[in-house]
Structure 1
C-alpha cells in the first residue's frame, strides 16, 4: 500500500515533475536516437554507392555481399541472445505498457542499436523509426531504473521515451506525442502528454542541431492545390489507399509463415532468416539500387522524377514485395518509413492514372505523393491524427491539411469497413509472450471517466477480480472512492490492477 501511496503522490504531483522528467528523457533519447540515425545515414550512403558502382563492375558485389552476410550472422547471434530486438520494436513497447512484456532495457538498448544500424544500413527495405521508438523507450526505462521510479512513473517515462524516439527519427515532435497517445498508450493521460511533449521537443531540438532545420521529406517548391469541385478525387484516393492498406496488413501478418516454411526446408533457425532476406534482395540491389533502404530519398525524388504510370507501379510492387521480405526476416528494423514510401508511390500512381485520363494536371502530382503517405499510413496504423500531423511536419507545409484530412479519414474508414486492425496491435497479438514473466505485482493506473461509466456508482461496475478503484480526482481535489461513490464524466480515477490486466481494464472502462 505504501508503494501505491507513492505512485499516487507522483501521479497527482506538480506539473513541473513531469516537465523535468521529460527534459531528461528528451536529452537522453535524443542523443541515442540521433546517433542511431546518423550512423545509418552515413553507412547506407556508402553501401548504395557501392551498389551503383557494381552496375559497371559486378565483381564489387562479392565484398558487399560477403560483408552483408557476416553482418546478418552477427545480428542473428544478437537476436538469439535477446528476441526482444527483433523487428520494429513498437509492439514490444506497447506490450510493456500493457504489462505483458518486461524486456531487459540495457540488453535491448545496445543490441537494437548495433543490430539496427547494421540491418537497416545494409540496404534492406527497413525503416529506422520503429527501432528509434523502442530505443527511446528503453533509454527512458534505463533512466527510470536510475531514478528508482515507481511502476506508474516508469510507464510514463517509457511512453515519453517512445515519443522522443519518433521525434528524433522524423523531426516531428507533435506527431511523436500523438503517436504515443493514439497508438502506443491508447489513453489521453495528463501524466503522459506533458512528459511526452517535453521529451519530444527536447529530442527534436537535439536532432535539429545535428541534421539541420530542413524537413525530413521537404518537397521542392510549394504544394499545389486542387479546386473544390475536384475534391471527389480525394474520396476515391482514400478508398484506394484503404484497400491497399488492408492488403498490406494481411500480407505482413502472414509473411512469417513463408519464412517458417523456407527455414524448415533449409534447416535454418529463425534468428538467421536474415540470410534469406539478403540473398533475395541482391537482384534489386544490383538492378535498382535507388530503391534500397527505408525510402527517404525515394520520396523526396518522386516529385521531379518524371516517372510513367507503368514505372511507378513497378516500383510500388518491388517495394511492397521486398519490404515484406525484409521485415519478415525478423531483422531489427521497422515498417514505418517503408509504409510512407509505399503510400507515396501509391499516391503518385493514382495521380498518374488520372493524369492519363486528362482529369488532373501534371503540376498537381506532388500533392498526391503527400496525400498517399498520409492516407496509407493512417489506414494501416489506424492512427489518423498521427498520420495527418506526421506527414505535415515531415513535408513542412501546413496549407494542405484539409486535403490530407479528407484522404486520411476516408482511408481510415475504408480500412475499418474491411475489418482491418491497427497494425502494431495486430503484431503484438501474434507475438509469443514469454512464459517466464516477472512476478505479477499490482500497480496504479489512471483513467479518465468516460461516458461509458459516467453517472454510475462504483458498486454498479463489473470489475475483474483484484481490481480496485481507489480515488477520484476533480480539479486536483482527491476523493477516496467507496461503493457509493458516483463517477463524474471527465474526472480522473486511479485504479490498482495487476500489470497484465492493464489493457483489459482500460478497454472495459473506456
Structure 2
C-alpha cells in the first residue's frame, strides 16, 4: 500500500512551504514560471515595436529616426505626448499615473509587490508610444514593469504569501532585462541591487533561473548579437588611468545634474499637465529637427559612435541634449524609461572625453571607442548608484572582459562624484530614513523574507466571553496554547488568553465555588491572568507587515485571518510581538555565524 499523502503536493501545502525562510525549491519553481511568462511578454513587446515601425519607419526599424524627413520626425514627439496625455486623462484622471521602475520599487516597498492591473495596461501603451513616437526613452522600464507585475500577479492569483511575491518581483525584473537586452547576468544583479536592494542566496537562485528562462525565450525568437561588440577595444597602457578618472569625474557631474533636473517635478507641478506634455513634445521635436539622434533609445547612434562615424556636434547633442530631454520629460511627469538614454548619453560623453584626451596628450593614442564604452558604465552606475549592475551590463553588452579594469575605476569615481559632490542617491531612491531606503533597512529586510504562517501559533481555540464551567473545561480538551475571546461588539478588540491560566484556575476552583449568574455562566475576563488585545492580519502577510501592524495599533498580538465564514472570520493562528522578536534574533545570529 502506498504511504503517499494525497495533499502533499496541494496548493495549500505549496503556500505553507513558501511562507518559511527556506522555501528554495518552491521559489525555484516560481522563478522558472516567472521567467517563461516574462520572456513571452517581452517577446510580444518587441514584436509590437517592430509592427508599429512597419507603418512609418524605414526598414521597419523602430530607431531609424535619422532617415525620416525633418518635419515628420519633429512632429512625432508631439503626436506621442498627445496620445500619452489622452490615455492618462482617460484612464487615470491625471498626471500621477505611475509606471516603470520607480513604480515597481514603490509597490515593493509599500504594497509587498502587488500591482494594479490598470497601471500594467498603461505601461504597454505608454512604453510603445514613447519609443515609436521619438521621445528620448528606452524599453527597459516597460520590460521591468511588465515582467515584475505579471510575475507578481501570478502569485496574487494563487494567493501565495507576500514574502514569495517579493521574490517574484525580482524574478520578473531580471527576466525582463534579460529578455529585452540579452543580458541575463546584468538582469540578476540589477534586480538584486536596484530593485530588491539586498543579496541573499534564497533570492539569487530563483532570480537566476528566471533570468535564464527569459533570455532563452528571447534568443530563440530574435537570436543573439551583442549590440556594442567591437574587436580590439582595450586599454593598452596604464597611462590612460588618470584621464579615465578625470573623464569619470565629468560623467559623474553630468549624472548628478541629470538626477537633480529629473527630481525638479514639484517645481513644475504648478503648470497644467497638458502644458507640461506640450513642453516635452516641443523640446524633443525642435531638437530632433537638427539632431534626430536624441530620439528613441539611441543604440544605433551608439554603434556609430564606436565606429567613429559621429560628428563632434552630434556627440555633444547626445551627451547633453539627450540627458536634458530625458530628465525634462521625467520632471514634467511624462513616464519615460531612462536607462537606455543614459547609457547612450554616457557613451557619447565618454567618446568626447577620448577625443579631448587625444588633443591634450598627442603622444598617447586614445581610442574614443574605449572611452565611449567606459562612459556608458560610468553614467549608468552614477545615475542609479548601482556599480555592479553597470559593470555586468557593460560586460554582457560588449563581450569584452578587457574593459572591466578601467571601467571599475571609472564606475567608482563617477558614483562618488554624483553621490558626494552632487548629493544624489540612486535615481529610483526617492525616500530615505537615516540615509537608507526602507528596503535597505536590515530589520525590515529580515522580516520580509518570511510570512506569518511560519511563525504563528496555530494551537488555539475561540470562545465567547461568558460560558459555563463545563464549557470552560471542554475548551482545554485539545490542549490549546491560546484562547481567543470574542467580544460582544465589533468595535471592541478581540482578546487572547493563555490557556494555561484558565487550566490553573480550573484546578483551583470547582463548579460549586465559581461565581455564576442565573444562566449558569461566568465571565472569562474575571479570571486572573494576562489577556492580550488583538488586531487582525491576513494569512499572506510577511512578518514586516505584522511588525508594522503591531506598531500602528495599540494591541499586543495579532490573529491571523484566513478567509471568512458566513458569520465570522476564520482564524488560523495568533502571532505575538515576542514571536517576531525571537525570529529576528535567531535570523540575526544565523547571519552572523554564516559570516
Q: How far off is 1:316 after superposition?
A: 1.9
CA deviation profile, 1:301-347 (whole Å, cap 9, x unmatched): 10124445454224322212222233333333211111111110111
Match of 1:423 among 422, 427, 434: 427
CA deviation profile, 1:354-377 (whole Å, cap 9, x unmatched): 111234766621111110011111
**Aligned residue runs from structure 1 range 393-432, under 5 A:** 393-418=396-421, 419-426=423-430
Q: Which secondary structure does the structure 1 equivalent of 2:136 belong to? A: coil
Compared with structure 1, are the counterparts of its residues 403 and 332 closer, same or farther at alpha carbon in structure 2 (3 Å cutoff)? same
Aligned equivalents of 1:210, 1:40: Cα separation in 2: 15
Aligned equivalents of 1:424, 1:402: Cα separation in 2: 27
Aligned equivalents of 2:185, 2:406: Cα separation in 1: 19
CA deviation profile, 1:405-455 (whole Å, cap 9, x unmatched): 1111122222232232111003799xxxxxxxxxxxxx95239xxxxxxxx
Instruction: Tell me if 1:390 matches 2:393.
Output: yes
**Aligned residue runs from structure 1 range 258-337, under 5 A:** 259-261=268-270, 263=271, 268=272, 270=273, 273-337=276-340
Compared with structure 1, are the counterparts of its residues 427 and 309 closer, same or farther at alpha carbon in structure 2 (3 Å cutoff)? farther
Match of 2:355 among 348, 352, 357: 352
Q: How far off is 1:106 after superposition?
A: 2.2
| TM-score normalised by length of structure 1 | 0.77
Q: Which secondary structure does the structure 1 equivalent of 2:449 belong to? A: strand
User: Partner of 2:248 in structure 1?
Assistant: 238
User: Partner of 1:124 in structure 2?
Assistant: 135
Q: How far off is 1:69 after superposition?
A: 5.6
CA deviation profile, 1:454-488 (whole Å, cap 9, x unmatched): xxxxxxxxx9864947489xxxxxxx659899825
User: Partner of 2:147 in structure 1?
Assistant: 136
Q: How far off is 1:205 after superposition?
A: 1.0
Aligned equivalents of 1:76, 1:360: Cα separation in 2: 56
**Aligned residue runs from structure 1 range 16-415, under 5 A:** 16-44=25-53, 46-47=56-57, 52-55=67-70, 58=71, 64=76, 67-68=79-80, 70-77=82-89, 80-81=92-93, 85-86=97-98, 89-100=100-111, 104-215=115-226, 217-254=227-264, 256-257=265-266, 259-261=268-270, 263=271, 268=272, 270=273, 273-359=276-362, 364-415=367-418
CA deviation profile, 1:153-187 (whole Å, cap 9, x unmatched): 11111121111112222211111111121111112
Aligned equivalents of 2:411, 2:109: Cα separation in 1: 28
Compared with structure 1, are the counterparts of its residues 49 and 197 closer, same or farther at alpha carbon in structure 2 (3 Å cutoff)? closer
Q: Which runs of 5+ in 1 are unaligned?
A: 430-442, 448-462, 473-479, 493-510
Q: How far off is 1:43 after superposition?
A: 3.2
Contact kept, 8 Å, 1:7 with 1:153, in 2: the verdict is: no
Query: Which is further off, 396-405 or 353-362?
Result: 353-362
Q: How far off is 1:400 after superposition?
A: 1.6
Contact kept, 8 Å, 1:51 with 1:286, in 2: the verdict is: no
User: Partner of 1:487 in structure 2?
Assistant: 589
**Aligned residue runs from structure 1 range 428-507, under 5 A:** 444-446=447-449, 466=551, 468=577, 470=579, 481=583, 487-490=589-592
Q: Which runs of 5+ in 2 are unaligned?
A: 1-11, 58-62, 434-445, 451-546, 552-575
Please tell me whether Structure 1 or Structure 2 has the larger radius of gyration of its CA atoms: 2
Aligned equivalents of 2:98, 2:274: Cα separation in 1: 9
| TM-score normalised by length of structure 2 | 0.67
Q: Which secondary structure does the structure 2 equivalent of 1:331 belong to? A: coil
Contact kept, 8 Å, 2:112 with 2:165, in 1: the verdict is: no
Q: Which secondary structure does the structure 2 equivalent of 1:98 belong to? A: helix
Q: How far off is 1:6 after superposition?
A: 5.8
Aligned equivalents of 1:136, 1:346: Cα separation in 2: 31
Q: Which secondary structure does the structure 2 equivalent of 1:410 belong to? A: helix
CA deviation profile, 1:383-402 (whole Å, cap 9, x unmatched): 10111001111122222211
Q: How far off is 1:65 after superposition?
A: 6.8
CA deviation profile, 1:232-290 (whole Å, cap 9, x unmatched): 22222222222222122111111x246434x3xxxx3x377433322322222322223
Aligned equivalents of 1:330, 1:239: Cα separation in 2: 29
Compared with structure 1, are the counterparts of its residues 162 and 118 closer, same or farther at alpha carbon in structure 2 (3 Å cutoff)? same
What's the RMSD between the two structures over aligned residues?
A: 3.4
Q: Which secondary structure does the structure 2 equivalent of 1:423 belong to? A: coil
